[in-house]
Amino acid sequence: MSALTIRDVPDDQIQTLKIRAAQVGKSLQAYFLDLIARETSKPTLAEMVERLNRETTASISTDEVLAAIDAARTGR
């Protein structure tokens, strides 16, 4: 596992993070690990768009769609 150093974090932000960590009963390190885990488990917008394009792209022609509609209407 790697170590991570963040420089030049304003004191007020550090204080806020310490308070939030304490409110959930965690050390600052554990709180940050949870934040990082949550952030990295969510797909980015670009990843979601790519996934949606991949999953919603149909390789079916208009004629095939119309034929399926006609077949469904005939079967009523």
Q: Is residue 26 part of a domain?
A: yes
Q: Is residue 41 part of a domain?
A: yes
State the pLDDT at residue 24. 98
State the pLDDT at residue 48. 94
pLDDT tens for residues 7-54?
A: 999 999 999 999 999 999 999 999 999 999 999 999 999 999 999 988
Q: Is residue 48 part of a domain?
A: yes
State the pLDDT at residue 55. 86
CA distances from 1 to 4, 27, 33, 50 (A): 10, 18, 12, 30
Q: Is residue 1 part of a domain?
A: no
Q: Is residue 5 part of a domain?
A: no
Instruction: Give the structural domain span for 26.
Output: 11-74
State the pLDDT at residue 58. 77
Q: Is residue 17 part of a domain?
A: yes
Domain count, the chain: 1
Residue 65 amino acid letter = V
In 3D space, the residue among 33, 55, 52, 34 whose CA is nearest the CA of residue 43 turns out to be: 52
Q: Is residue 3 part of a domain?
A: no
